[in-house]
Structure formats: structure tokens, C-alpha cells
């Protein structure tokens, strides 16, 4: 041990010799080394004082001037950020802002000042209030830590205080009061006395500040044995940039999975419950920031709910606190239907079910969760101007109807889709108030205030089936994208219809699509659409009853057109984009007369990936809609025969390109005189005759989609 410290003392003596010479010290002592027989304690003079210029005696000190505060960046320096105007030798710039110390100190007693490697770092830290720490990182470690020392400028005593390099990369120098000059500057000498290549990555004054870890999960509520996507892109480090992401996916303390600059990773968990994943961020200074995310994993499930009468679910959405809301209809004892809204937890547990209606038929077609409220749209026969009218409602999270608005004429109106832009609700539906059916577009404030109404169509039958709102970031405009069907261009064919309407302006675009096979045009309907950047896809079906095929269609000239079929015929009712795929869901007619719910997956270039069928073992199942949570991110809803049970299985299906052409269509905007009503009917909680696993020939179905 004594030999180690004698080596260090010799090295420091040579440093003193060099600095003294540069400061013009007594030449009679130049070149001499002074040894101490025992190692000094941290902070004590190792015995080189007479030969080492005091901090005030250093030539070419850089005055930084006084400021009021310091930044994170001022606390840390790359190895290459040494004070070049101050003494230093046997150093050279490395890669990535490293500094290489290349001494040739043998420790044999014959070394001279020329064998040492050293330089000085200058920090300006006004108001410094952190711990008295030196933190350092070596890209190439010294041959031995006892061959590296740090000298701190003690301005009170006008001397250098010396501290040993530690293996853990952190040296405590006791306190900060004596080490800052009048400009709030502190100087640090890094001295290497060995025969190796020592590469310094960074040198920090004070403790490392904390990073801010923010992660996203997809799906937000994952299920066991399914792929989970974790993204730390929104995490923040206080200084430098994030250069590397390393992962402890099994949470064993080892970051064995390195994704470089990629901010996300995939994993899965075999068991239900609370799990953890560790993340290590590496900064451009090569500092490590370690964090953890806690993940609650759910069990995959299929769940039905019902009374002794029929139930059907048309749409589903989720909130940010672990619940899903399903909207549809439930039959009454008088053989009418009431609007139905059901709340479940993400593990399938029923929270409440509520119905709303009068003496006629009511149905909900769409549901969305916005800012702690649930908005539903559908149709009502019990209230309004006559026939069926649009029904718009706001519900609380506890199942209370806060307000209801009925909009219509004496003809037929319904609401099929809902989108929100800021404080405005945009409802899309249909009206027969003209010659034939036209698309109906309504605007209401989220406070139930009426704003506008318009119709769109031509001389024939025009029907809307879905709507979304998108923002044109280049022009700061919002658009409604509406899908449906029309025979206005040619009464002999029912074509796919796509319409884009600019909000707050008159610009719009309308197009139709027709298959190359004329026999497949009749009965075409569109269930919905989704937008991915500039890609817009529509899901639906084409063909006459008994010969229908599910359809995935890209809204682009020469774009993707794909049909899917299994068994006798298939109809798609819902579409969703999820991670890197599109999913169609609907109903498949099996050989023998039974039906199954189906899901078909396509990638974002329109290529078929795989498909599955959900069968209840009875007469029939249908899937009407999808949302992204929980489980694999896909929760399908519809109806089934609960008593027969059910499960997912692989589907044997055929796919084909039906061909087809997009054509511009001059849809005409119109206006109509509407009547409004505000029924005060309250929702009724369904608590009697309920079996949470269903008990009728048709019950509401919720199923976490898990491909086999």
C-alpha cells in the first residue's frame, strides 16, 4: 500500500515541478521531486506545495465574470472541455469529446515531470448549492485508480487540495466554501501518473440531477401472453441529449436489451398482476439515468351481459381510468327497443347498465368519451317531430343522462357517427326529408347549443355510415371525413362514397368507388374508416345478399382494394388501425346457417396478414365495432348466444383484389328546417333479471381479441 502512495506522491511532485516552472518559481528546485513516506489523507498537501503554483499564481486564468445563477450545462464538462490556456501536457483529443491522458510514469524512481499527464478544468457556478462531489466517467479506465488524483483550487488558503480517484466514479471533497473564487469559479486538476491510456468522458461538479421518465404503453391496459409496446420518447434528461436506451425487461437489475436511439421496445408477461420494467437512459455526456415503469397486466377475457330479452352493442370506447363504455340497444317487454349504455371495467366486470327511452324504438349507434363525459348519438322514435329523429346525449360516468337533444323533421333522421373538434360536436347521419336519402351533418356545442345543419347528396340515395375529424397541419384547417354509400352518380349501382368537408369553410371533396365486377355493386355499404397520416381506409362489404364479401378499401386512385370471405358470405361492420395494422370486424355466415364474429388483419400497405373467428357454439355471433383497449389493444363488441359459450379460432379465408375505380362526384350542399326537442326522461338502471354472463338467445358481447 505504501508503494502505491509513494507512486502518487512522485507523480504529484512532477506536476508541481511543471506548474512551478511555468509560473516562474525558483529555478534551483526545478526538476526535483519531493516524496512523502506515508500517503496523505484526502484534502491534505501530498508534499508538493513548495513546487506547485498556488491557484492565484496560475497564468492565463480566464475571468468568466459574475452572474446570478448557474445552469445544468455549467456543472458538467466533456473530457475535451479542459481550459486550454492553463497548464497541461501529454493529453490529446479522443473520439466523441473524450480526452486521452497518455502518461509514461513507470514508478521506478527515474520518472521526471515529462512523464506525467494532466490538465485543468475551470467551472463557473454562481450560487452553487449542491453537494461537494466530483463525479467522473472514464471511457477507458485507468490501469489503477490510485494512479489518478484530482486537485481542487482552495482559494481561502491559496493552495491545491488533493483527492484520490475512486472506483465508483465519485469523490467527496467535504465542502464547497473554500473552493470558489470571487467570480464563483472552481478549478480542478486531473493528474494521471501511470503508463496506460486513460480516457476521460466527463467531469461533473455536484450530484447528478434526476431525469423525468414518461412512458406510454400500447395497449394502455395489456393482457397476459400478448405483445406490449413501451415507449419512453417523452422522457427528459436535464443536460445533454439521450443517446441510448437500454432495457431491463425482466427486472433483474441487468439492462440486457439495448435499442440504441430507438425509444420503444416490445415485451410480454406470462402472468396477470403488477409487473415492472427498468429503463436506462444514456446522455451525450455518457451519464446514466435509471428509471422504472409499473405495468398492470390483465387477463384476456370474453364477456357477455344480458337480461331475458335481447341486447345488441354497436359501438365501444374507453376512458383514461380503466373503463369501457358500450352503446347499443336493449329490447323491452313491449317489443320496442331502448337506448343502452353499459360500463365495464377492463377485466370485464360489470359496473352499471342503463337504458333510456319511451314508447317507441331508440338505438345508440356511436359513443365517445371526452373530458369526463360520455357522448352518444343514435335515433329515437319516442320523441321529436315524427318518425325517427337524431338523438344526441351526454351521460355522466355514473350513468346519469345529463341532457338529451332530439333533432329532426317529420321524415326519417338518424345519427350514425360522432366526432369532436375543440368545443364542437359534429354529428353525421341521414335524412329522408328530400327526394331520397341525403347525408345529414349537424354541429352542436358540448353544452347542447345548436350551431348549424346541412345536407349533402345528389338525385339518388345517399347514406352516411361513419365520420372522423382530422386537422390539416399545413393549413390549420379541420376536416370531417365521411364515408357511406350512394347511387346518385348511377341509379343502377350502389357505390362507395367518401366525402371531405372543411370546417369553417366551403371547400369539400366527394368521390365514389365502384368495383370492376358489376355483379358485386348491389348492396354495397361502408361501415367506417380510419386515417393514418395521408392514408385513408374504408371498411365495409360489397355484393348482393347471399354473396357478400368484406372489403378493405384505400381512398386513393390506384390504392388498395381487398376482399375477405370465409364460409358462405362475410360483412364488415367495424374498422380500426392499431400499431402497424388495420383490423376489420363483422359477421361471417358459416356453412350450415350459423354465424361467427370475424376479425381480419391487414398491414399498412394493404396486404392480408391473418384472420380469426369468434364462435359461440350456437346460432350466431356478430362483432360490430372495435376499440384499442384493453388486452392486445383490441376489444370487440357485438352480440352472441351467451349460453353456448364461445372462443376464438383461426379462420380459413380467401382474399382477392376486386379491382375498381375512384371517380370525382359533385355532391350538392343543402339545408333543411329542423325541429328540436329536449326530453327530460331519465335513464333507468337495469338491475333486475340481469345475468352478467347473459341468459337470452341474444346478449351483448365484449371480447378481448387474442389471435391464436
Domain residue spans in the chain? 2-205, 216-297, 302-704
Residues 6 or more apart whose Cβ sits within 8 Å of residue 687: none
Q: How many CB atoms lie within 10 A of CB 492?
A: 9
Q: Is 556 left (phi over 0), alpha (psi -120 to 50) or beta?
A: beta
Cell 350551431, located at residue: 451
pLDDT above 90 covers a percentage of the chain that reads 49
Name the pLDDT band for 519 (thresholds 50, 70, 90). Answer: very low
Beta strands in 473-568 (DSSP E): 477-486, 495-502, 508-514, 525-532, 535-542, 549-554, 561-565
Handedness of CA 409, 412, 418, 421 (dihedral sign): negative
Mean pLDDT value across residues 627-650: 72
pLDDT above 70 covers a percentage of the chain that reads 83
Mean pLDDT for all residues in the chain: 84
Q: How far apart are CA 446 and CA 423, in angstroms?
A: 6
- Domain 216-297: assigned CATH number: 2.60.40.10
Torsion (CA) 365, 371, 373, 375 in degrees, nearest 10: -20
CA distances from 325 to 344, 405, 583, 621, 695 (A): 7, 20, 20, 20, 21
Residue 190's Cβ-count burial label (10 Å; 0-12, 13-18, 19+) is buried
User: What are 255's three cell numbers?
Assistant: 439492462
What is residue 474's predicted lDDT score, i.e. its pLDDT? 67
Q: How far apart are CA 213 and CA 550, in angstroms?
A: 43
Helix, strand, coil: what percent of the chain each, to 5? 5, 50, 45
User: What are 109's three cell numbers?
Assistant: 524512481
Q: How many CB atoms lie within 10 A of CB 3?
A: 8
Q: 7-21, pLDDT tens digit by residue?
A: 444 444 444 444 443
What is residue 536's predicted lDDT score, i.e. its pLDDT? 81
Q: 641-695, pLDDT tens digit by residue?
A: 765 566 777 788 889 998 888 999 999 999 889 999 999 999 999 986 666 555 5
* Inter-residue contact 432 to 419 (CB < 8 Å): no
Q: How far apart are CA 66 and CA 185, in angstroms?
A: 9
| pTM listed for this prediction | 0.66
What is residue 690's predicted lDDT score, i.e. its pLDDT? 66
Return the ∠ at Cα 511 (arms to 508 and 512), rounded to 5°.
155
Residues 6 or more apart whose Cβ sits within 8 Å of residue 442: 390, 392, 407, 415, 426, 427, 428, 429, 452, 453
316-320, 468-472, 495-499: range with lowest mean pLDDT: 468-472
Which range of 39-48, 49-58, 276-285 scores highest in mean pLDDT? It is 276-285
What is residue 299's predicted lDDT score, i.e. its pLDDT? 73
109-113, 208-212, 493-497: range with lowest mean pLDDT: 109-113
CA distances from 205 to 99, 125, 129, 283, 284 (A): 18, 9, 11, 16, 17
What is residue 187's predicted lDDT score, i.e. its pLDDT? 95
What is residue 626's predicted lDDT score, i.e. its pLDDT? 87
What is residue 179's predicted lDDT score, i.e. its pLDDT? 93
439-453, 483-497, 624-638: range with lowest mean pLDDT: 624-638
| Cα–Cα nearest to 120, from 187, 55, 181, 52 | 187
Cell 354497436, located at residue: 314
Q: How far apart are CA 196 and CA 147, in angstroms?
A: 10
The secondary structure of residue 230, as a DSSP letter, is E
Name the pLDDT band for 448 (thresholds 50, 70, 90). Answer: very high
Phi first, then psi, for residue 77 (nearest 5°) are -135, 140
| Cα–Cα nearest to 577, from 636, 638, 631, 532 | 532
3 state DSSP class of 305: strand
What is residue 56's predicted lDDT score, i.e. its pLDDT? 87
Q: How many CB atoms lie within 10 A of CB 263?
A: 18
| Cα–Cα nearest to 482, from 504, 496, 500 | 500
Is the pLDDT reported for residue 421 higher than 80?
yes
CA-atom Rg of the chain in angstroms: 36
- End-to-end Cα distance, the chain: 65
Please check whether the domain covering 302-704 is classified as CATH 2.60.120.
Answer: no
Higher pLDDT, 155 or 36: 155
Name the pLDDT band for 558 (thresholds 50, 70, 90). Answer: confident
Mean pLDDT value across residues 368-393: 96
Mean pLDDT value across residues 429-448: 92
In sequence order, what DSSP letters do the residues of 11-71 get, joined into one string?
Answer: HHHHHHHHHHHHTT--GGGTT-----SSPPPTTS--S-GGGSPPGGG-TTPPP----S---
Q: How far apart are CA 49 and CA 520, in angstroms?
A: 97
* Inter-residue contact 442 to 426 (CB < 8 Å): yes
Residues 6 or more apart whose Cβ sits within 8 Å of residue 335: none
User: What are 326's three cell numbers?
Assistant: 358500450
The secondary structure of residue 142, as a DSSP letter, is -
Mean pLDDT value across residues 514-542: 60
How far is C-alpha 631 from the chain's CA centre?
A: 16
Name the pLDDT band for 116 (thresholds 50, 70, 90). Answer: confident
What is residue 64's predicted lDDT score, i.e. its pLDDT? 58
Is the pLDDT reported for residue 633 higher than 50?
yes
Cell 394493404, located at residue: 606
Q: How far apart are CA 4 and CA 207, in angstroms?
A: 29
What is residue 63's predicted lDDT score, i.e. its pLDDT? 63
The secondary structure of residue 388, as a DSSP letter, is -
What is residue 532's predicted lDDT score, i.e. its pLDDT? 44
The secondary structure of residue 210, as a DSSP letter, is P
Residues 6 or more apart whose Cβ sits within 8 Å of residue 114: 14, 89, 90, 104
CA distances from 50 to 8, 32, 43 (A): 17, 11, 16
Beta strands in 323-433 (DSSP E): 323-331, 337-345, 350-356, 362-370, 373-380, 389-395, 401-408, 413-421, 424-431
Q: 189-247, pLDDT tens digit by residue?
A: 999 988 899 999 999 999 999 999 999 887 766 778 778 889 999 999 999 999 999 99
* Inter-residue contact 583 to 529 (CB < 8 Å): no
| Cα–Cα nearest to 523, from 502, 550, 503 | 550
Maximum separation of any 2 CA atoms in the chain, in Å: 116
Cell 346518385, located at residue: 488
Amino acid at each position: 500500500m505504501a508503494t502505491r502512495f509513494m507512486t502518487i506522491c512522485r507523480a504529484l511532485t512532477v506536476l508541481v515541478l511543471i506548474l512551478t516552472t511555468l509560473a516562474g518559481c525558483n529555478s534551483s528546485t526545478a526538476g526535483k521531486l519531493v516524496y512523502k513516506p506515508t500517503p496523505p489523507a484526502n484534502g491534505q498537501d501530498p508534499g508538493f506545495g513548495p513546487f506547485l503554483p498556488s491557484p492565484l499564481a496560475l497564468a492565463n486564468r480566464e475571468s468568466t465574470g459574475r452572474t446570478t445563477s448557474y445552469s445544468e450545462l455549467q456543472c458538467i464538462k466533456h473530457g475535451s472541455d479542459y481550459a486550454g490556456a492553463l497548464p497541461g501536457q501529454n493529453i490529446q483529443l479522443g473520439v466523441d469529446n473524450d480526452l486521452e491522458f497518455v502518461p509514461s510514469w513507470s514508478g521506478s524512481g527515474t520518472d521526471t515531470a515529462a512523464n506525467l499527464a494532466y490538465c485543468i478544468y475551470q467551472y463557473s457556478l454562481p450560487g452553487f448549492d449542491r453537494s461537494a462531489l466530483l463525479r467522473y466517467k472514464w471511457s477507458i479506465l485507468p490501469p489503477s485508480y490510485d494512479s489518478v488524483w484530482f486537485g481542487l483550487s482552495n482559494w481561502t488558503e491559496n493552495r491545491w487540495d488533493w483527492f484520490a480517484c475512486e472506483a465508483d466514479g465519485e469523490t467527496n471533497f467535504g465542502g464547497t466554501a473554500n473552493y470558489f473564487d470571487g467570480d464563483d469559479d472552481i478549478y480542478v486538476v486531473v493528474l494521471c501518473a501511470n503508463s496506460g491510456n486513460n480516457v476521460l468522458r466527463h467531469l461533473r461538479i455536484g450530484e447528478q440531477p434526476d431525469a423525468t421518465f414518461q412512458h406510454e404503453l400500447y395497449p394502455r391496459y395489456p393482457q397476459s401472453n400478448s405483445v406490449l409496446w413501451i415507449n419512453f420518447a417523452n422522457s427528459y434528461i436535464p443536460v445533454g441529449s439521450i443517446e441510448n436506451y437500454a432495457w431491463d425487461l425482466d427486472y433483474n437489475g441487468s439492462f440486457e436489451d439495448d435499442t440504441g436511439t430507438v425509444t420503444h421496445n416490445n415485451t410480454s408477461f406470462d402472468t396477470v398482476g403488477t409487473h415492472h420494467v427498468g429503463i436506462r437512459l444514456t446522455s451525450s455526456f455518457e451519464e446514466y439515468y435509471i428509471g422504472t415503469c409499473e405495468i398492470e397486466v390483465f387477463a384476456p377475457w370474453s364477456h357477455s351481459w344480458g337480461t331475458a330479452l335481447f341486447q345488441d352493442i354497436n359501438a365501444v370506447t374507453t376512458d383514461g381510468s380503466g373503463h369501457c363504455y358500450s352503446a347499443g340497444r336493449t329490447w323491452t317487454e313491449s317489443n320496442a327497443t331502448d337506448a343502452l349504455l353499459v360500463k365495464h371495467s377492463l377485466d370485464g366486470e360489470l359496473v352499471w347498465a342503463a337504458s333510456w327511452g319511451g314508447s317507441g324504438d331508440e338505438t345508440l349507434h356511436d359513443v365517445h368519451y371526452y373530458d369526463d363525459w360520455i357522448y352518444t348519438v343514435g335515433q329515437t322514435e319516442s320523441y321529436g317531430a315524427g318518425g325517427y329523429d337524431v338523438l344526441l346525449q351526454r351521460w355522466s360516468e355514473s350513468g346519469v343522462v345529463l341532457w338529451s337533444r332530439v333533432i329532426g323533421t317529420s321524415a326519417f333522421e338518424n345519427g350514425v357517427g360522432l366526432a369532436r373538434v375543440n368545443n364542437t360536436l359534429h354529428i353525421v347521419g341521414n335524412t329522408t326529408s328530400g327526394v331520397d336519402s341525403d347525408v345529414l351533418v349537424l354541429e352542436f356545442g358540448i353544452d347542447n347549443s345548436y350551431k348549424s345543419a346541412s345536407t349533402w347528396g345528389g338525385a339518388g340515395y345517399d347514406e352516411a355510415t361513419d365520420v372522423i375529424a382530422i386537422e390539416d397541419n399545413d393549413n390549420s384547417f379541420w376536416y370531417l371525413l365521411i364515408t357511406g354509400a350512394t347511387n346518385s352518380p348511377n341509379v343502377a349501382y350502389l357505390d362507395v362514397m367518401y366525402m371531405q368537408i372543411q370546417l369553417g369553410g366551403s371547400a369539400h371533396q366527394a368521390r365514389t368507388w365502384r368495383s370492376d365486377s358489376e355483379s358485386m355493386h348491389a348492396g354495397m355499404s361502408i361501415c367506417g374508416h380510419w386515417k393514418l397520416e395521408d392514408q385513408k381506409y374504408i371498411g365495409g362489404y360489397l355484393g348482393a345478399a347471399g354473396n357478400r364479401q368484406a372489403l378493405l378499401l384505400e381512398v386513393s386512385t390506384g390504392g388498395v382494394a381487398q376482399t375477405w370471405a370465409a364460409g358462405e358470405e362475410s360483412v364488415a361492420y367495424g374498422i380500426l388501425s392499431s400499431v402497424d395494422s388495420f383490423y376489420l370486424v363483422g359477421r361471417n355466415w358459416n356453412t350450415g346457417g350459423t354465424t361467427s364474429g370475424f376479425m381480419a388483419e391487414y398491414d399498412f400497405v394493404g396486404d392480408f396478414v391473418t384472420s380469426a373467428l369468434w364462435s359461440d357454439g350456437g346460432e350466431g355471433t356478430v362483432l360490430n365495432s372495435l376499440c384499442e383497449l384493453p388486452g392486445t389493444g383490441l376489444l370487440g363488441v357485438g352480440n352472441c348466444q351467451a349460453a353456448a359459450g364461445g372462443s376464438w379460432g383461426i379462420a380459413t379465408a380467401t382474399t382477392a383484389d376486386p379491382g375498381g375505380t375512384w371517380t370525382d362526384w359533385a355532391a350538392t350542399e343543402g339545408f333543411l328546417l329542423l325541429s328540436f326537442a329536449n326530453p327530460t326522461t331519465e335513464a333507468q338502471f337495469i338491475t333486475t333479471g340481469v345475468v352478467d354472463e347473459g341468459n337470452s338467445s341474444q346478449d351483448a358481447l365484449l371480447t378481448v381479441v387474442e389471435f391464436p
